[in-house]
Amino acid sequence: MAPTSEEELKLRLYGGDLSRLGAAERFLKVLVEIPYAFKRLESLLFMSTLQDEEANIKESLETLEAACIELKKSRLFHKLLEAVLKTGNRMNVGTFRGSATAFKLDTLLKLSDVKGIDGKTTLLHFVVQEIMRGEGLRAVRAAKDGKSDSNIKTEYLLLDPLPEDCDEHYCKLGLEVVSGLSTELENVTKAAIIDTDGLTSSVSKLGHGLVKARESLNTDMKNLEEQSGEEEGDEFWLILSGFVENAEKDIAWMLEEEKRIMVLMKDTADYFHGNSKKDEGLRLFTVVRDFLVILEKVCKEIQAAPIKPPKKKDDPSFETPKSNDPNQPEGPTQQLAPGPFS
């Protein structure tokens, strides 16, 4: 913390025995004799931390961008959303909720609340069982065409001859594909813990630091040159001048990149939720991250149980919890906002 102008003046004017001063005062007495010492220290601190700050900010921005791309391009995630929508419409057939075309992703977290008559099997179990055979069959076909994009070893996909129970084999393969969604959306999980407000603040802080460093060059260095009569200035100002010139490009890029990523997050939230709010993008990542945890648990439970064929479309064994609000539609397929799934 720099001394006040009054304290600095007293130190400069002190001409007594330095040994009579305390250690801190003796240190400051030497320091104030250096022209613009505290502004130099502030600039030095900015110079020493900029590289690490830049690296952290770039990593966060890259993670957020990758998360947006993963969500919009993940075929498997869209397949799950489609299955949830279709399943909900089957359950609500004949009602105004039976023709929904979209739902908010928050609904994914409620799928485990909709349980079957056994009290254990949830709607998410049913959804996974609905798509796992098709995913297994798709993985096998892709492997045969040399276009496999699954996390399953190719030799396991191309068993020859096929097991006697092909359906069970495809279901097991498909379950493994579905359980790999967490890996496919790994950047979404990382993005969920990023403090976007803190990120914006960090970028802004670097911009302010650069402005202060530039002001020191334009005013303090010029004043020092006038006082000393030297046009070149001391070595510190020459180093700071080169640093500022290089930093201006990097920080200008980060300021623009941060704005671009925030717009991308808003666009991604709009893609799934329609006209979303400002912070909806980050919440989207949090919801999907929590859903992936639930999905992984469900996949493990299905894997531990005997493989069964999917239930019939008109299966009445699922009960949707009743809402206390008479105006609130029941079930996971209430059409809350538009949002394309493909």
What is the rounded average pLDDT of the residues 142-153? Answer: 62
3-class DSSP assignment, residue 33: coil
Q: Indicate whether 335 and 188 sit together in one domain.
A: yes
Residue 47 CB partners (closer than 8 Å, separation 6+): 213, 240, 243
pTM to 2 decimal places: 0.76
106 conformational bin, left if phi > 0, alpha if psi -120 to 50, beta if neither: alpha
3-class DSSP assignment, residue 318: strand
CATH of the domain at 122: 1.20.58.2220
Q: Indicate whether 171 and 310 sit together in one domain.
A: yes
Q: Indicate whether 27 and 77 sit together in one domain.
A: no
CA angle (13, 15, 21) in 5-degree steps: 100
Q: Indicate whether 24 and 67 sit together in one domain.
A: no
Q: Summarize pLDDT for 62-88 with one digit per residue, the tens.
A: 999 999 999 999 999 999 999 998 887
Asked if residues 43 and 216 have their Cβ atoms less than 8 Å apart, the reply is yes
Total domain count, the chain = 2
Tokens of 163: 């097991």
Asked if residues 11 and 28 have their Cβ atoms less than 8 Å apart, the reply is yes
- From residue 244, alpha-carbon distances to 51, 160, 213 in Å are 13, 65, 7
Q: Which residues pair with 37 in a beta bridge?
A: none
Residue with tokens 């717009």: 263
Q: Indicate whether 118 and 233 sit together in one domain.
A: yes
The more confidently predicted of residues 318 and 298 is: 298
Instruction: Quote the CA–CA distance of 169 and 152 in Å, as a whole number.
Output: 13
Domain residue limits at 74: 38-342
Instruction: Quote the CA–CA distance of 42 and 62 in Å, as a whole number.
Output: 29
Kindly report the average pLDDT of the chain as a whole number: 79
Asked if residues 133 and 171 have their Cβ atoms less than 8 Å apart, the reply is yes
Q: Indicate whether 53 and 153 sit together in one domain.
A: yes
Q: Summarize pLDDT for 259-312 with one digit per residue, the tens.
A: 999 999 999 999 988 776 666 778 899 999 999 999 999 999 998 887 665 555
Does residue 161 have a cis bond before it (omega within 30 degrees)?
Answer: yes
Tell me what pLDDT residue 48 has: 93
Q: Indicate whether 154 and 252 sit together in one domain.
A: yes
Q: Which of 128, 129, 125, 136 is nearest to 165 (CA)?
A: 136
Asked if residues 324 and 84 have their Cβ atoms less than 8 Å apart, the reply is no
Where residue 326 falls among pLDDT bands split at 50, 70, 90?
Answer: very low
Instruction: Quote the CA–CA distance of 285 and 192 in Å, as a whole number.
Output: 5
Tell me what pLDDT residue 79 has: 94
Q: Indicate whether 20 and 42 sit together in one domain.
A: no
Q: Summarize pLDDT for 47-67 with one digit per residue, the tens.
A: 999 999 999 999 999 999 999
Residue with tokens 């992703």: 105
Q: Indicate whether 112 and 225 sit together in one domain.
A: yes
Q: Indicate whether 5 and 50 sit together in one domain.
A: no
Amino acid at site 120: K
